[in-house]
Chains A and B, each alone.
Chain A
Amino acid sequence: MTSTSSEPLLVVEDLCIDVTPVGDKKVVPAVRNVTFQVAAGEAVGLVGESGSGKSLTLRTILGLLPAGVRATGGRVLFEGVDLLKAPKKTLKNLRGTGITMIFQEPMTSLNPITKVGEQIIDAARAKHSWSKSDARDHALRLARHMGVPDAENVLSLYPHELSGGLRQRVMIAAALACRPKLVLCDEPTTALDVTIQAQIIRLLIELKDEFGMSMLYVTHDLAVVAQLCQRLEVMYSGSIVESGLVSELFREPNHPYTQGLVNATPDVDAVVDLLVGIRGNAPTLGNWPEGCAFHPRCDFATEECQSGEFPLRDTGDGRASACIHIDRLHESTRQATP
């Protein structure tokens, strides 16, 4: 499918999200000034560890924030419409054909008391006025397409009767029943066994190519992003610290945090023997350090890093980084690899 416009499908601009912890009056920032884009037909990864704000960023797009969490600034433009300011009706219309979401734990996102076939049918009929039998055929075809074996029988089962992998396939079928333009993925493979994860990743790649849809994929797993996405944004403590093409970013990171993540990711091919973590701990919500949030854990930090703002800056070739000491980082990496 070709896109009809060269405008990006999704534009997130200076998004800020605040959290009010229960019983507290104090408001704590969880995401600040996050800016990125997703083009039509593109898969973009949003990578970070716990506390990075990646899940909140994703959920803001569809307005799925829990109580006490609010988007307090910025814009989320989908096909030009600001979702943060749009009336509820607009958002409702968007769901299904415009944007859908796939969640991490299918056991809690599928209705436990409804047969899975019904759930796919419901998703389809929400947007198209199909007859029940037409919708049922569509659901069957969709399920088979998702690789559900023995689809006729499986669709008449309840979610708890299916394995994790099958549940995930069903959820993907329901999410794609209306051919959305953008699929938001909130760590859909994290709870799956590695062989099943591989199947789901392959499925998502195939579907993306076939349906021409865009994906925004949130995960903590760098390697999964490497398989699935063309570009990625790395988040740390509520901000994007690096962004760029997957193929280049992992080969030569432009931010010490990204480098740290790469160094810490276990390598099954054991090209490197040494697994090095990042010292210290990620700051908890409300305890972000002054200046660059990463500087207490950074080997290249200087006094300049301890105060001020560190927005993303273009480093050329479609890449950007928030770090002001990229040269020191590269120098050190060059020295480390003989």
Chain B
Amino acid sequence: MSENLLELNDVTVSFMARRGGTKTPINAADHVSLSVRRGEIFGLVGESGSGKSTLARLIVGLNSAASGTVVFDGEVLANKKRPRALRRQIQMVFQDPYSSLDPSMTVRQQLTEILKVHDAVSDSQRKAHCEQVFAQVELSPTLLSARPRQMSGGQRQRVAIARALLLSPELLVADEPVSALDVSIQAGIIQLFADLRTRLGVTIFFIAHDLAVVRHLCDRVAVMYMGKIVEEGVTSELFANPRHPYTRALLDSIPRLQPEAHEEIVAPEGEPPSLARLPSGCRFRSRCPFATEKCALEEPPLIDVTSSPDGSLHRAACHYANELEAYVGRSSTV
């Protein structure tokens, strides 16, 4: 049993995008490497165009990698044609609770179908198993007879999580599972993920566009921009000491609930470039306040940042990662 449950080794996922009349290939994920340890909650954060959803779908086998490998529990995974046994191990929770459940079937029917196709549990045990999984996501078993349209967003999302847990997977990929929910419901779902990891030991790959959510839930975080990982590290370390200008820009952009009266919102300049026409060198340089000529010439590799106090892995893809001045941030409690 390897320590890393999941490894992405230099994976590239590319699509044909239509621009005007022509089709150009774009790399939605570009030479991405990361690893997820067994039992941890790993957060992947990025804005639109970052490639995070692409990676999620790659991991669960809905995409193929043009190059690079996906390694799960020591085995290299085939792209799309995977054995059913493997599919049990990696499950996904989608973003939109309103379209991730089949509107024409009851919840029970959808769950039972999965159990039947995988022949996971004997006929007589199915009912009990469904109820047990429902209890794990804190839903009353009466909802098993409901159809999706009779349930609220939060309930549907819990059903989606229950569906993902049915086959006792080792890895749960959650693609922005709370983005479409009201904030008062969101907190319950985030807490549920944390509880599931504690109770069931399941490894969670959590994708979000919201750094704040990730801070509350994840052990380690990676930040993506335009298809590349720009920073990666232990959550507390990354938030206390961000070493990539984009991470800093993200942190600065987030509106705070209690901004000091004199503080203004800090916003990074410019727009993200188009994936079809990336700038030379570093992708972030067109918006980076620290960019130099070197940034236009050379694409910065992910390098180790030397300042993590506990020696944990902290990497950033910036030529000046180690030279940036300490991050003061917007909160005065640093």
- Chain B interface residue bracket vs A: 35 or more
A-B contact pairs, 25 of them (CB 8 A): A149-B270, A149-B271, A193-B47, A193-B209, A194-B209, A194-B210, A195-B249, A198-B255, A202-B264, A202-B265, A205-B264, A223-B257, A263-B187, A265-B183, A266-B187, A266-B190, A266-B210, A266-B216, A267-B216, A267-B257, A268-B256, A269-B329, A277-B184, A279-B188, A284-B152
A263 contacts across to B, CB distance below 8 A: 187
Interface residues of A in 270-292 (CB under 8 A from B): 270-271, 273, 275-279, 281-282, 284
Among the listed A166, A221, A227, which residue makes an inter-chain contact with B259, where contact means beta carbons less than 8 Å apart? A227
Among the listed B188, B256, B265, which residue makes an inter-chain contact with A269, where contact means beta carbons less than 8 Å apart? B256
Among the listed B216, B251, B257, B268, which residue makes an inter-chain contact with A222, where contact means beta carbons less than 8 Å apart? B257
Interface residues of B in 292-334 (CB under 8 A from A): 329-331, 333
A49 contacts across to B, CB distance below 8 A: 182-184
Find the B residue at minimum CB distance from A199.
B267
**1/0 contact string of B249-276 vs chain A (CB within 8 Å):** 1111111111101001111101110000
* B255 and A266 contacting across the interface, CB-CB below 8 Å: no
Find the A residue at minimum CB distance from B215.
A270
> How far does the alpha carbon of A115 sit from the alpha carbon of B152 in the complex, in Å?
40
Interface residues of B in 46-83 (CB under 8 A from A): 47-48
* A220 beta carbon closer than 8 Å to chain B: yes
* A151 beta carbon closer than 8 Å to chain B: no
B331 contacts across to A, CB distance below 8 A: 269, 271
* B154 beta carbon closer than 8 Å to chain A: yes
> How far does the alpha carbon of A200 sit from the alpha carbon of B331 in the complex, in Å?
21
Residues A223 and B185 in contact in the complex (CB < 8 Å), given A266-B215, A267-B215, A269-B331:
no
> How far does the alpha carbon of A201 sit from the alpha carbon of B268 in the complex, in Å?
12
Find the B residue at minimum CB distance from A264.
B187
* A201 and B265 contacting across the interface, CB-CB below 8 Å: yes
* A268 and B191 contacting across the interface, CB-CB below 8 Å: no
* B120 beta carbon closer than 8 Å to chain A: no
> How far does the alpha carbon of A154 sit from the alpha carbon of B267 in the complex, in Å?
22
* A251 beta carbon closer than 8 Å to chain B: yes
Interface size, chain A (Cβ < 8 Å): 48
A166 contacts across to B, CB distance below 8 A: 271
B210 contacts across to A, CB distance below 8 A: 194, 266
Nearest CB of A to B109, in Å: 23
* A227 and B265 contacting across the interface, CB-CB below 8 Å: yes
* A250 beta carbon closer than 8 Å to chain B: yes
* B254 and A223 contacting across the interface, CB-CB below 8 Å: yes
* B155 and A266 contacting across the interface, CB-CB below 8 Å: no
> How far does the alpha carbon of A279 sit from the alpha carbon of B271 in the complex, in Å?
39
Find the A residue at minimum CB distance from B261.
A247
A271 contacts across to B, CB distance below 8 A: 331, 333
Nearest CB of B to A47, in Å: 10
* B213 beta carbon closer than 8 Å to chain A: yes
A261 contacts across to B, CB distance below 8 A: 183-184
Find the B residue at minimum CB distance from A263.
B187
* B216 and A281 contacting across the interface, CB-CB below 8 Å: no
* B329 and A195 contacting across the interface, CB-CB below 8 Å: no
> How far does the alpha carbon of A34 sit from the alpha carbon of B42 in the complex, in Å?
44
* A224 and B183 contacting across the interface, CB-CB below 8 Å: no
Find the A residue at minimum CB distance from B270.
A149
* B106 beta carbon closer than 8 Å to chain A: no
> How far does the alpha carbon of A164 sit from the alpha carbon of B329 in the complex, in Å?
27
B213 contacts across to A, CB distance below 8 A: 266
* A264 and B253 contacting across the interface, CB-CB below 8 Å: no
> How far does the alpha carbon of A93 sit from the alpha carbon of B326 in the complex, in Å?
54
* A262 and B257 contacting across the interface, CB-CB below 8 Å: yes
Find the A residue at minimum CB distance from B235.
A270
Find the A residue at minimum CB distance from B236.
A270
* A201 and B267 contacting across the interface, CB-CB below 8 Å: yes
* A275 and B256 contacting across the interface, CB-CB below 8 Å: no
> How far does the alpha carbon of A202 sit from the alpha carbon of B330 in the complex, in Å?
15
* A223 and B188 contacting across the interface, CB-CB below 8 Å: no
* A226 and B259 contacting across the interface, CB-CB below 8 Å: yes
**1/0 contact string of A223-247 vs chain B (CB within 8 Å):** 1101100000000000000000001
* A281 and B187 contacting across the interface, CB-CB below 8 Å: no
A149 contacts across to B, CB distance below 8 A: 270-271
* B265 and A205 contacting across the interface, CB-CB below 8 Å: yes
* A268 and B271 contacting across the interface, CB-CB below 8 Å: no
Nearest CB of B to A213, in Å: 19
